[in-house]
Copies of this chain bind each other. A is one copy, B any other.
Amino acid sequence: MDNGTTRSQRFGRRRFLGAAGAGTAALLAASAARSATPDPAITEVQDWARGLGDGVATRPYGMPSEFEKHVVRRDVEWLTASRQSSVSFTPLHSLDGVITPSGLCFERHHAGIADIDPAKHRLMINGLVDRQMVYTLDDLKRFPGRVGRIHFLECAANTGMEWRGAQLNGCQFTHGMVHNVAYTGIPLRMLLDHCGVRTNGRWLLAEGGDAAAMTRSLPLDKAMKDCLVAWAMNGEALRPEQGYPLRLVVPGWEGNMWVKWLRRIEVGDQPWHHREETSKYTDLLADGRARRFTWIMDAKSVVANPSPQAPLRHRGPNVLSGLAWSGRDAIRRVDVSLDGGRNWRTARIDEPVLSPSFVRFYAEFDWNGSELLVQSRAIDATGYVQPTKHELRRFRGTNSIYHNNGIQTWLVRPNGETENVEIS
A400 close to B (CB within 8 Å): no
Complex: how many Å from CA A209 to CA B120? 49
Given contacts A34-B139, A52-B84, A56-B109, contact A235 B63 (CB under 8 A): no
**B-facing residues in A59-98 (Cβ within 8 Å):** 59-68, 71-75, 82-84, 86-88, 94-98
Complex: how many Å from CA A44 to CA B140? 22
A364 and B113 contacting across the interface, CB-CB below 8 Å: no
**Please, which residues of chain B bring their CB within 8 A of the CB of A73?**
56-57, 60-62
A55 and B134 contacting across the interface, CB-CB below 8 Å: no
**Please, which residues of chain B bring their CB within 8 A of the CB of A32?**
135, 139-140, 142-144, 194
**Please, which residues of chain B bring their CB within 8 A of the CB of A321?**
146
Given contacts A57-B1, A61-B73, A146-B321, contact A314 B33 (CB under 8 A): no
- Flag the segment in A23-31, A276-284, A330-338 that touches B: A23-31
Q: Mark A45-62, 1 if CB is under 8 A from B, else 0.
A: 010111111111111111
The smallest beta-carbon distance between A319 and chain B, in angstroms, is 5
Q: Mark A213-256, 1 if CB is under 8 A from B, else 0.
A: 10000000000000000001011110111001100000000000
B113 and A314 contacting across the interface, CB-CB below 8 Å: no
A213 and B33 contacting across the interface, CB-CB below 8 Å: no
Determine which of B86, B144, B213 lies in contact with A28 in the assembled complex, contact meaning CB atoms within 8 Å: B144
B148 and A96 contacting across the interface, CB-CB below 8 Å: yes
**Please, which residues of chain B bring their CB within 8 A of the CB of A362?**
146
**Selected A-B contacts with CB under 8 Å, 5 pairs:** A42-B124, A50-B211, A68-B237, A97-B232, A142-B316
Complex: how many Å from CA A238 to CA B390? 40
The smallest beta-carbon distance between A32 and chain B, in angstroms, is 4
A112 close to B (CB within 8 Å): yes
**B-facing residues in A109-159 (Cβ within 8 Å):** 109, 111-118, 120-122, 124, 126, 131-136, 138-148
A236 and B143 contacting across the interface, CB-CB below 8 Å: no
Complex: how many Å from CA A192 to CA B126? 62
The smallest beta-carbon distance between A339 and chain B, in angstroms, is 20
In the complex, the 9 A-B pairs of residues with the closest C-beta atoms, listed nearest first: A55-B83, A53-B112, A60-B72, A62-B103, A53-B113, A56-B88, A96-B184, A57-B88, A36-B132
A391 close to B (CB within 8 Å): no
A135 and B33 contacting across the interface, CB-CB below 8 Å: yes
- Chain A contact-residue range equals 35 or more
Determine which of B36, B41, B182, B360 lies in contact with A99 in the assembled complex, contact meaning CB atoms within 8 Å: B182
**Please, which residues of chain B bring their CB within 8 A of the CB of A316?**
142
The smallest beta-carbon distance between A234 and chain B, in angstroms, is 5
The smallest beta-carbon distance between A177 and chain B, in angstroms, is 11
A318 close to B (CB within 8 Å): yes
A259 close to B (CB within 8 Å): no
The smallest beta-carbon distance between A311 and chain B, in angstroms, is 12
B55 and A94 contacting across the interface, CB-CB below 8 Å: no
**Please, which residues of chain B bring their CB within 8 A of the CB of A108?**
56
Q: Who on chain B is nearest to A143 by CB?
A: B32
Q: Who on chain B is nearest to A126 by CB?
A: B36
A182 and B97 contacting across the interface, CB-CB below 8 Å: yes
Complex: how many Å from CA A313 to CA B72? 39
- Starting from the known contacts A46-B116, A49-B213, A56-B73, 20 additional A-B residue pairs (CB-CB under 8 Å) come to A1-B57, A32-B140, A32-B142, A36-B132, A39-B122, A39-B134, A50-B211, A51-B211, A56-B107, A57-B74, A59-B241, A61-B64, A62-B105, A64-B237, A65-B244, A67-B118, A101-B236, A141-B319, A144-B319, A146-B362
